[in-house]
Amino acid sequence: MSDFYVGSVDHEGRQSASRSITPYGTSLTVRKDGKGASISVSMGGDGTPISISTYPSP
């Protein structure tokens, strides 16, 4: 699941402000055209919790 989001960020021309990838999950903060997003994907247990938050970015 993490590969999908990392690939999308890289492919869509977004600027990566921060990126952390571990065996337990992935956390990305990206920017593009005055907008930003934080994406968090957790691994393990039942299911794969995903959180996406958007915000204006200078």
Cα(18)–Cα(50) distance, integer angstroms: 17
pTM (two decimals) = 0.74
pLDDT band at 58 (very low <50, low <70, confident <90, very high): low
Q: Mind spelling out the 3-state secondary structure of 1-55?
A: CHHHHHHHHHHCCCEEEEEEEECCEEEEEEEECCEEEEEEEECCCCCCCEEEEEE
Residue-wise pLDDT tens digits, 12-47:
778 888 899 898 889 999 888 888 999 999 987 777
pLDDT for res 10: 72
pLDDT band at 1 (very low <50, low <70, confident <90, very high): low
pLDDT for res 53: 93
What are the sequence ranges of the domains in the chain? 2-56
36: its two tokens: 């930003």
